[in-house]
Amino acid sequence: MAPEVRRGFVVVAALVAIVAVIWAARLDSVPPAEFSLQNGTDPKTLDPHRATGQPESRIVFELFEGLLRMLPEGERDPENGLQPLAPKPAMAESWDVSEDGKTYTFHLRDGIRWSDGTPITAHDFAWSWHRMLHPATACEYGYLISEVRLASEYHNAIVNVGDRVEVELWDRPGETPLGDAAIKHFPRGSMKYGVLREIIKPPRPELPEDASEDDQENAELDWQESWVYVVDVVPMGSDDRPDWDHEPTRERFAASPETVRGDRTITRAHGVMVDFRHEGGAQAIDDRTFVVHLNNSVPYFLNLVAYYPLFPVNQACVETYGAQLWTKAENIVTNGPYRLKFRRLRDRVRVEKNPDYWDADRVGMNTIDFISLESQNTALNMYVTGQLQWINDLPTSVLEELRKRDDFHSAPKLSIYFYKLNHDIPPLDDIRVRQAISMAIDRRQIVEEVTKAGQQPAFSVVPPGLAGYKGVKGLQEDVEKAKTLLAEAGFPGGRGFPKLTLLYNTSETHRPIAEVIQQQLQNNLNIKIELQNMEWGSFTETVQMENYQMARYGWVGDYPDPNTFLDMWVTGNPQSNTNWSNPEYDRLIVESGTEQDPAKRLELLRKAEEILATELPVIPIYFYTSAEMCKPNVIGFAPTAQDLHPLSTLRYADEGETTGH
């Protein structure tokens, strides 16, 4: 170790000595795992259909496995050091694609099993995709497979007269007569199937002119619940499918208890939705054949199949323990390379090798600890002392020294750091204000003086380097133009501009970035920004509820295509939370999904990005570059564009073996 690096570590060690002692005391007498990594904050959930962030996804990728799995392919790129990943056979050993690219037939392996020893079948995938799309599951990634036949209609509860539908009766386990539910099962009540013949809508209630927004929303929901759905119901046949040849019985359904009490011919139901189970585009043909029908061909569909929201969950486990308890260590059943050993809040999640995994012989590490650790300095100290083998959030104060080490890794990432703006909060609903804020930010100061890991200033949302895509320039820094725009919006010199709150989750990086931007907006526009810090769980919940003004966020591409950075801003997308809407933007994204010419498709996406970079529902700050360290005796570790690291492929080098770091 070079003297200057050693001195840097001495400084860091001195700063965190007390913290390290406290941390060590928390570990009690738990023996160390074979491999331990810094995982940031506590994961909110281990449910693949409800997870959203990296602290969750790193664990979910190891506990569960889909039809396909993202695995290394070929050699690392000598120019940028990136290891290419590609969707590879996993639960499915092979697949066929129709000539028009709209039908995928996946052939499952023989003998694959859940961690409780029970067989995994194509029916598990059909049930799991159904569960993931159900509105009550609240999966934020349902839009990813909107091109699967009827998936979008089912996920968004869109139904039209003439559709074959499912009716979920109001008999979920744990419900009271008033309708309070302990959401436990899926499907969550008795089901009926038929054809929707009519929707009877009473007059929309009139509200006083001074009614609050909440009162208006509640009145709208109450009105929709009072709708009466007239359905021609058919019985189930012996093949567990609706018997469409049987004479139907006309029945009426509504969600409102008042509507049902007022007419005994109406049956109370949670909802009437398209019949995705039988008519949707994700069907199990037999135990080993799973067929997916798309409305249009999707060039990156196999990447989606290898993404964790499409991983299966065990039906018996979910239905036995319920939505909140099935992921507890003593209950959970998984199908990935690892199974859950235990979970300690604010400490760690430990996984152990799953002996029932189909490729268990190739899983390198017997136990892995995902350490809940946000302190950069503590993480580095634990790495130096051998308590961690991989850290991914390094102190900027010693980055230059760490770069000289062989175990330091840095490469461009397919990801962006940005600020969300809530367009329901004036004056953020004014495009001139949003543009002024963006143009008054000096991004180069942030990446050169704060983050210091080679990040690139961002003025649009799609990172560079995607094959065939020509990104947009966006609005560059221009303080004088920003002042003019702010004056045009009614705030000359910042006078009269309300104080805004910038929300960020706990991190040693987010605060200094926010402080620099706070100072820049104060100096350049006389705008005052208050900073508010929250732990990860509260932060994500607050943003999802849209109870914020400005919020720090980051996005890692789910697949290597511009669409993964653009489709989340379509009106109503649950990942947006900005209340921004642009019909032309929506049209371009929808049209790009049906365009089969690759060049024309990318041009449609570029036009959409131009709108995004002009209207600025979010303010891009920088494109990420990884800065991480992994022990030099670990075989298989390498930076990847999507920041995915299949831990099951890692192992320790044998004596005399080179690692290739």
CA–CA gap between residue 482 and residue 356 (Å, rounded): 60
pLDDT band at residue 355 using 50, 70 and 90 as cut-offs: very high
If residue 412 lies in a helix (H) or strand (E), which one and from where to where? strand 408-421
* pLDDT tens sequence across 40-86: 999 999 999 999 989 999 999 999 999 999 999 988 888 888 999 99
CB 250 within 8 Å of CB 228: no
For 140-149, 172-181, 411-420, which range has the lowest pLDDT when averaged over its residues? 172-181
Q: For residue 6, what pLDDT is reported?
A: 45
The amino acid at residue 474 is: G
Share of the chain above pLDDT 90, in %: 81
Could you list the residue range(s) of the whole structural domain that residue 608 is in? 409-625
CATH number for 531:
3.10.105.10
The 8-class DSSP code of residue 197 comes to E
CA–CA gap between residue 644 and residue 414 (Å, rounded): 10
Q: Do the domain assignments include residue 285? A: no
Q: Do the domain assignments include residue 603? A: yes
Q: For residue 507, what pLDDT is reported?
A: 82
pLDDT (mean) for 527-547: 93
CA–CA gap between residue 483 and residue 489 (Å, rounded): 10
Residue 136: Cβ-neighbour burial (10 angstroms; 0-12, 13-18, 19+): middle
pLDDT at residue 8 above 70?
Answer: no
CA–CA gap between residue 496 and residue 527 (Å, rounded): 9
pLDDT band at residue 330 using 50, 70 and 90 as cut-offs: very high
Q: Do the domain assignments include residue 582? A: yes
Structure tokens at 347: 């400490």
pLDDT (mean) for 152-167: 97
pLDDT band at residue 30 using 50, 70 and 90 as cut-offs: confident
Pairing relationship of beta strands 92-97 and 103-108 according to DSSP bridges:
antiparallel
pLDDT (mean) for 542-568: 93
pLDDT at residue 11 above 70?
Answer: no
pLDDT (mean) for 180-193: 71
CB 92 within 8 Å of CB 106: yes
Could you give the count of Cα atoms lying within 13 Å of 132 in the half-sphere of its Cβ?
30
The 8-class DSSP code of residue 19 comes to H
pLDDT band at residue 175 using 50, 70 and 90 as cut-offs: low
Residue 208: Cβ-neighbour burial (10 angstroms; 0-12, 13-18, 19+): exposed
CA–CA gap between residue 430 and residue 515 (Å, rounded): 24
Q: What is the mean pLDDT of the chain?
A: 92
pLDDT (mean) for 168-192: 68
If residue 358 lies in a helix (H) or strand (E), which one and from where to where? none
Strand, helix or coil for residue 11: helix
Closest by alpha carbon to 626, among 454, 418, 404?
454
Q: For residue 465, what pLDDT is reported?
A: 83
pLDDT at residue 29 above 70?
Answer: no
Sign of CA dihedral 52, 58, 64, 67: positive
Structure tokens at 565: 């950075």
Task: Break the chain down into helix, strand, coil percent, rounded to 5.
Answer: 30, 25, 45
Structure tokens at 581: 């809407």
Taking the CA atoms of the chain, what radius of gyration do you get in angstroms? 26
Could you give the count of Cα atoms lying within 13 Å of 411 in the half-sphere of its Cβ?
22
Pairing relationship of beta strands 500-505 and 529-534 according to DSSP bridges:
parallel
Q: For residue 181, what pLDDT is reported?
A: 44
Q: For residue 583, what pLDDT is reported?
A: 97
pLDDT at residue 12 above 90?
Answer: no
Q: For residue 171, what pLDDT is reported?
A: 86
How many residues in the chain? Answer: 661
Q: Do the domain assignments include residue 14? A: no
User: How many CB atoms neighbour CB 201 within 10 A?
Assistant: 11
Structure tokens at 507: 């991190």
Structure tokens at 190: 């008795």
Q: Do the domain assignments include residue 432? A: yes
Beta bridge mates, 344: 348
Q: Do the domain assignments include residue 440? A: yes
pLDDT (mean) for 468-491: 95
For 13-22, 134-143, 210-219, 633-642, which range has the lowest pLDDT when averaged over its residues? 13-22
Number of domains in the chain: 1
Q: Do the domain assignments include residue 181? A: no
Q: For residue 658, what pLDDT is reported?
A: 66
Q: Do the domain assignments include residue 422? A: yes
* pLDDT tens sequence across 271-306: 999 999 999 999 999 999 999 999 999 999 999 999
